Amino acid sequence: MKKNRLGSSDLLVGEIGLGCMSVGTEEQQGVYLIHEALDRGVNLLDTADLYHHGRNEEIVGAAIRGRRQDVVLATKVGNRRMPGQEGWGWDPSKEYILSAVKESLRRLGTDYIDLYQLHGGTIDDPIDETIEAFEQLKREGVIRYYGISSIRPHVIREYVERSNIVSVMNQYSLLDRRAEEEVLSLLQDRGISVIARGPVASGVLTDEGEGKVAKGYLDYEEAELLDLRKQLKAFTSAERSMGQTAIRYSLSHPAVAAVIPGASSLGQLEHNIAAASLPPLTQQEREALQQISRANRYDAQYR
């Protein structure tokens, strides 16, 4: 599998990683899927302390035991669960990050994290304090590099200007092209990599996804999605499915170092990874695909 450098770091990540939230809560099945991914050339595993109350980190930790050297391990912080309360709150404080990382390390069964990511963020956060926490962890060798997981342009710009992030995890697909408006070019110019999540748009952009369009997707209505899927079929073939075309679209922007589709079965995993062996989209193909979708606008809440 082709590997790309993550920003200015020395981390080389396979262009198709694994979003581990999808592997479920049953350890045997989760470990099996992660091992199959690693055996097929995946090295970027992404999780978060939030997923399944930390259970996902535990499963990832079990899977990488004895294989830590094969993995670029990414997790996230910032969403804080309160004992005895439903849901979670947002806490990007230095104090919380320095304490939360210890729990992630314990669940992951490792003494360092390759990529530690802020799991969200707003313009009203104590951004300098958050950066101080990541920089301290980096100096201590607890993390190797840090990034943010955000779709908010204003937040991304602040971290680009004020921190040493090497990556931004951003929802980016043929159906969610918001980042093309201003984020991707900024990150490309600054040498900061994008890790694209949601490349198949919650399954809408897969061969089996027609049943998923009833609820719409972002500002797309059902009829519009059905028409788009019909047009997208013209870009598929026996060699490249609809979902693989969607994955190659997300990878076709030069700012994107990797995509992290999820997989809850071996068949889904194999299908996603097979996209790595397909030729990249040509510029002509990319532009033609953009003609059948449309640019999205950020809602005011994300500005």
The single-letter code of the amino acid at 160 is V
Active-site pick, 51, 116, 159, 217: 51
Q: Is the per-residue pLDDT at 300 higher than 80? A: no
Q: Does pLDDT of 79 surpass 90?
A: no
Q: Averaged over 232-237, what is the pLDDT? A: 92
Q: Which of 136-145, 264-273, 287-296 has the lowest mean pLDDT?
A: 287-296
Report the pLDDT value the prediction gives residue 181, as an integer from 0 to 100.
Answer: 86
47-68 pLDDT, tens digit each:
999 888 889 999 999 999 999 9
Quote the pLDDT of residue 88. Answer: 76
Confidence class for position 274, pLDDT limits 50, 70, 90: very high
Helix 153-162 to helix 127-139 angle (10° resolution) is: 50
Q: What is the arithmetic mean of pLDDT over 132-142?
A: 98
- When the candidates are 3.30.360.10, 3.20.20.100, 3.30.70.1380, 3.30.9.60, the CATH number that belongs to 3-293 is 3.20.20.100
Residue 177: closest CA among 159, 194, 160:
194
Query: What average pLDDT does this structure show over 257-285?
Result: 96
pLDDT of residue 50: 86
pLDDT value of residue 182 = 86
pLDDT at 303 > cutoff 60: no
Residue 299 has pLDDT above 70, yes or no: no
pLDDT averaged over every residue in the chain: 94
pLDDT band at 295 (very low <50, low <70, confident <90, very high): confident
pLDDT in tens, 89-102: 889 999 999 999 99
Asked about 249 being catalytic, the answer comes back as: no
Encode pLDDT of 158-209 as tens digits. 999 999 999 999 999 999 999 998 899 999 999 999 999 999 999 999 999 9
Rounded to whole angstroms, the Cα distance separating 119 from 219 reads 24
Q: What is the pLDDT of residue 267?
A: 96
At 294, the pLDDT band (50, 70, 90 cuts) reads confident
Q: Which of 131, 48, 127, 53 minimizes the C-alpha distance to 88?
A: 53
User: Which pLDDT does position 282 carry in this prediction?
Assistant: 95
Which residues share a beta bridge with 195? 169, 258
Give the per-residue pLDDT at 165.
98
Residue ranges per structural domain of the chain: 3-293
